[in-house]
Amino acid sequence: MALEITEPRPMGKPIKRKEDARLVRGQGHYLDDIKLPGMLYLALTRSPYAHARIKRIDTTRAKALPGVHLVLTGEDLAKLNLSWMPTLAGDKQMVLATGKVLFQYQEVAAVVAESRALAEDGAQLVEVEYEPLPVVVDPFRALEPGAPVLREDREEASNRIFHWEVGDQAETDAALRNSAVVVKERIRMPRVHPAPLEPCGCIADYNAARAHLTWYVTSQAPHAHRTVLAMVAGLPEHKIHVISPDIGGGFGNKVPVFPGYVAAIVASLSLNRPVKWVEARTENLTSTNFARDYHMEVQLGADRQGRVTALRVTTLADHGAFDAAADPTKFPAGLFSIVTGSYDFPVAYAEVDGVYTNKAPGGVAYRCSFRVTEASFLIERAMNTLALKLQLDPAELRFRNFIPSERFPYRSPLGWTYDSGNYAATLQKALDMLDYPALRREQAERRARGELMGIGISTFTEIVGAGPSNTFDILGIKMFDSCEIRVHPTGKVIARLGTRHQGQGHETTFAQVIAEELGLTTDDVIVEEGDTDTAPYGLGTYASRSTPTAGGAAALAARRVRDKARKIAAHLLEVRDTEVEWDGERFTAAGAPDRAVGMSEVALAAYTNLPAGMEPGLEATYYYDPPNLTFPNGAYVAVVDIDKGTGAVKVRRFVAVDDCGTVINPMVVDGQIHGGLTEGFAIAFMQEIAFDEEGNCLAPNFMDYLVPTAVETPHWETGRTVTPSPHHPIGAKGVGESPNVGSPAAFANAVVDALGHLGVTNIDIPLFPWKVWEVLRQHGVTE
């Protein structure tokens, strides 16, 4: 059970979360809880068509509605040069449509009124005349000759956004030709949505007298958003104050800037009043950022013993109408090149083509470090197909191909240097937790009786913690992160970081890191994030980067504080600096451990009794630029039973053994794993943002976009191996995304494993019962 926050030496312990004191009382302070005097509300008019020319917009009736203060269209924004905005991926996106609309639910007009309801009424009264255009939904069709070119604003007369490739194509092809076995598979990772429980929103509060904008926003990256805003809107950066209040889940959804944000800011600037925009769930699912939508083709070569020889991947990435991904600038396909996974491939080649279609924009890293989920899903699925082809146990196949622990740091054929790992031990632990041989025996017995039971394995490696500034930037801003620590005279601490948590528990875990370094308790340290006026600059929380980057900064800033504290301690103990020792909680005089001072005595002295000539105060700031990324890994095993009557899949057991390096708080880590597995389960079995051929979104709400409830969510069994990152200040690697990255393949592999004896090697996720039933029917095994 959880430990109290006053526990000494808190590192690695299940300390109770500090943020929960307010959250269990319903006293969280989320965006929509903020009410400012004189605040107006904004609602958006959206397109019913996926592709249409706008012939006319008539705002007369909306403007005439009592209580409406302002109606904005794309033409109004064009006068301010704001009808388009840059995306974090270096593309641009319409704020309010001009000329034509490119996806269903696209933002066409904004109405600002006295109340939420009146703004909605006004938005309904905006009349728009459309002339429908041919719609491109299928990304393959988008590249065919003769396909309508969707983006008329670009010079290129094509729907291709980018072509990206990595690795040695010629060598890979040669190796595949010379391989004893080559398996091919088409693997699709459908469009899904992060759907945090709190939708996105903002309040723009412009004060003309001060020429100052306060912008409250559901932002995972407040500093980056402030800079983008300064660049786009031309407001001086120091006169923009971004406040990201408590966030009700993010999962990547709250990284980009959305048209509603820009419209609210323009409205506040023109009305000199605070303007709130909060999206409804339908708006969230239809317009603010999907994830995945990767159509992949893989060729995997091996020798007769199952040792892998080469990997080749070709991918079509559907980005929708605008490339609104938030990938680091040099990585249009994110970190997809982690696709060789945990295996020692001599050679590999991957290519990705991004295309435009008439769908909502995005391509965000949904609980994923930039396309790592797609890569992991692909390689783990392909390894399953190889095992089937070779009639080799999938666990044994993995043991034969793991990068051996003594090969770290390991240079992958696609250019990454993996920091550490002990893959065989991690998998062995998972197999032991389940008694894997017994399960295989049971499966054989059941199969003999005609029952369908499957065991699916996924042994993924992630790449997180972007990142080293020589490689990683977003719109030119380097992806370091930061921490500032102030120790007050009574030994109490306020720490501020450039990240912004959304439920991950930073107020507790970063306090643990700092308390451990300073010999204090978690209770002694307040962690603040999300306020650009007070926190040091940082790039925010996504891509499992907080612990690898800001967590490193926190430890190193604390060590800076401790270095100064040591000098003050020497003064108090009346010994030389070199004669002071740190025992983890106190400074002692060397050889005389009973002569000791703690951090609070030192802190008081920093303001009251300093060594001669020393600068007063006790604080430090650290901007941490990590030397490398971190590479968490895990071994996940799913055990499923398939109902032959309905095609329904029951997950009987799921074991997740994670290795995220040093663990700061095991309770929080397990919580992250539970949550991510549940999202992975949903992606494998029930979620897809699908479209009909006219581009109508078929999953625009929680009735059609299924979020698992407590009833169908499996019971999760977690385990751990600990292989610290050698380059991280406390050896931690980050964990929030591993379960979402690693689990979909375990589920899919389990279902395919149950049907492997029938010759099935692949079924596209989501594995809806009807889809599985159809496969059963084709093989004549329905009941």
Q: List contacts with ligand FES (CB under 6 A).
A: 197, 249, 503
User: 26 is in the binding site of which of another protein, ligand FES, none (Cβ under 5 to 8 A by kind)?
Assistant: another protein
Nearer to ligand FES, 206 or 716 (CB): 716
User: 416 is in the binding site of which of ligand FES, another protein, none (Cβ under 5 to 8 A by kind)?
Assistant: none
Closest CB 42 distance from another protein, rounded Å: 16
Question: For another protein, which residue of 470, 703, 759, 780 counts as binding (CB under 8 A)?
Answer: 703
Residue 713 has which token pair? 């969510």
Q: What are phi and psi of 214, to 5 degrees?
A: -100, 130
Question: For another protein, which residue of 710, 759, 780, 783 counts as binding (CB under 8 A)?
Answer: 710
Q: Which stretch binds another protein (CB under 8 A): 541-549, 572-580, 637-645, 671-679?
A: 671-679
Q: Is 619 in the site for another protein (CB under 8 A)?
A: no
User: 449 is in the binding site of which of ligand FES, another protein, none (Cβ under 5 to 8 A by kind)?
Assistant: none
Closest CB 250 distance from another protein, rounded Å: 8
Residue of 279, 380, 462, 737 marked active site? 737
Q: Are 622 and 637 in contact (CB under 8 A)?
A: no
Closest CA to 483 of 550, 395, 405, 416: 550
Which runs of E-coded beta strand occur in 120-159? 127-132
Q: Which residue of the chain is nearest ligand FES when measured via CB?
A: 197
Concatenate the DSSP letters of all residues of 413-473 into one string.
TTS-EE----HHHHHHHHHHHHTHHHHHHHHHHHHHTT-EEEEEEEEEE--BS---TTT-E
Question: How many Cβ atoms are within 10 Å of 764's Cβ, its own excluded?
Answer: 13
Residue of 46, 312, 367, 496 marked active site? 367
Q: Is 707 in the site for another protein (CB under 8 A)?
A: yes
Nearer to ligand FES, 401 or 508 (CB): 508
User: 436 is in the binding site of which of ligand FES, another protein, none (Cβ under 5 to 8 A by kind)?
Assistant: none
Closest CB 602 distance from another protein, rounded Å: 32
Question: For another protein, which residue of 170, 209, 448, 711 counts as binding (CB under 8 A)?
Answer: 711
Spell out the residues 6+ positions from residue 327 whose beta carbon is closer than 8 angstroms to its own. 88, 89, 333, 334, 363, 365, 370, 371
Question: For another protein, which residue of 124, 158, 282, 417 counts as binding (CB under 8 A)?
Answer: 282
DSSP summary character for residue 524: G
3 state SS of 247: coil
Q: Is 19 in the site for another protein (CB under 8 A)?
A: yes
Q: Is 281 in the site for another protein (CB under 8 A)?
A: yes
Question: For another protein, which residue of 205, 246, 507, 658 counts as binding (CB under 8 A)?
Answer: 246
Closest CB 676 distance from another protein, rounded Å: 8
Cis peptide before 409 (omega within 30 of 0): yes
SS3 sequence, 558-601? HHHHHHHHHHHHHHHHCCCHHHEEECCCEEEECCEEEEEEEHHH
Burial class, 469, CB count within 10 angstroms (exposed 0-12 / middle 13-18 / buried 19+): middle
Residue of 93, 198, 200, 368 marked active site? 368
Please give the Cα distance from 257 to 87 (Å, whole number): 7
- Please say whether the dihedral angle defined by the alpha carbons of residues 741, 743, 747 and 749, taken in this order, is positive or negative: positive
Q: Is 1 in the site for another protein (CB under 8 A)?
A: yes
Nearer to another protein, 20 or 393 (CB): 20
User: 603 is in the binding site of which of another protein, ligand FES, none (Cβ under 5 to 8 A by kind)?
Assistant: none
Q: Is 67 in the site for another protein (CB under 8 A)?
A: no
Q: Is 716 in the site for another protein (CB under 8 A)?
A: yes
AA letter at 456: G
Cα 675 versus chain centre, distance: 13
Please give the Cα distance from 671 to 181 (Å, whole number): 41
Closest CB 685 distance from ligand FES, rounded Å: 19
Question: For another protein, which residue of 70, 204, 677, 741 counts as binding (CB under 8 A)?
Answer: 677
Spell out the residues 6+ positions from residue 711 whose beta carbon is closer than 8 angstroms to its own. none
Q: Is 494 in the site for another protein (CB under 8 A)?
A: no
Question: For another protein, which residue of 85, 109, 195, 697 counts as binding (CB under 8 A)?
Answer: 195
Q: Which stretch binds another protein (CB under 8 A): 194-202, 309-317, 691-699, 723-731?
A: 194-202
Q: Are 527 and 511 in contact (CB under 8 A)?
A: yes
CB burial string 645-681: b at 16+ within 10 A, e below: eebbbebbbbbbbbbbbbbbbebbbbbbbebbbbbbb
Nearer to another protein, 3 or 80 (CB): 3
Closest CB 674 distance from another protein, rounded Å: 3
Closest CA to 111 of 215, 48, 203, 41: 41
Q: What are phi and psi of 80, to 5 degrees?
A: -95, 5
Closest CB 429 distance from another protein, rounded Å: 20
User: 209 is in the binding site of which of ligand FES, another protein, none (Cβ under 5 to 8 A by kind)?
Assistant: none
Nearer to another protein, 15 or 570 (CB): 15
Q: Taking CB under 8 A as the criterion, which residues in 107-136 touch another protein?
A: 116-117
DSSP summary character for residue 3: B
* 737 classed as catalytic: yes
User: 78 is in the binding site of which of another protein, ligand FES, none (Cβ under 5 to 8 A by kind)?
Assistant: none
Closest CA to 256 of 153, 366, 338: 366
Cα 517 versus chain centre, distance: 28
Nearer to another protein, 417 or 713 (CB): 713
Closest CA to 198 of 244, 265, 262: 244
Q: Is 32 in the site for another protein (CB under 8 A)?
A: yes
Please give the Cα distance from 526 to 194 (Å, whole number): 29
Spell out the residues 6+ positions from residue 488 whose beta carbon is closer than 8 angstroms to its own. 494, 603
User: 349 is in the binding site of which of ligand FES, another protein, none (Cβ under 5 to 8 A by kind)?
Assistant: none
Q: Taking CB under 8 A as the criterion, which residues in 631-670 touch another protein?
A: 667-668, 670
Cis peptide before 766 (omega within 30 of 0): yes
Please give the Cα distance from 700 to 287 (Å, whole number): 9
Q: Taking CB under 8 A as the criterion, which residues in 505-564 touch another protein?
A: 505
Q: Is 192 in the site for another protein (CB under 8 A)?
A: no
Closest CB 290 distance from another protein, rounded Å: 16
DSSP summary character for residue 506: H
DSSP summary character for residue 547: I
Q: Are 467 and 506 in contact (CB under 8 A)?
A: no
Nearer to ligand FES, 197 or 703 (CB): 197
Q: Is 698 in the site for another protein (CB under 8 A)?
A: no
Q: Is 2 in the site for another protein (CB under 8 A)?
A: yes
* 220 classed as catalytic: yes
Question: For another protein, which residue of 7, 12, 20, 595 counts as binding (CB under 8 A)?
Answer: 20
Residue of 93, 104, 106, 220 marked active site? 220
User: 758 is in the binding site of which of another protein, ligand FES, none (Cβ under 5 to 8 A by kind)?
Assistant: none
Nearer to another protein, 91 or 198 (CB): 198
Closest CB 194 distance from another protein, rounded Å: 8
Query: Count of H helices and E strands in the chain?
Result: 19, 33
Closest CB 152 distance from another protein, rounded Å: 33
Nearer to another protein, 4 or 764 (CB): 4
Which spans of this chain sit near another protein (rule: CB under 8 A)? 1-2, 16-17, 19-21, 23-30, 32-33, 35, 116-117, 195-199, 246-249, 251, 280-282, 502-505, 667-668, 670-672, 674-679, 701-703, 707, 709-711, 713, 715-716
Active site positions, annotated = 220, 367-368, 737
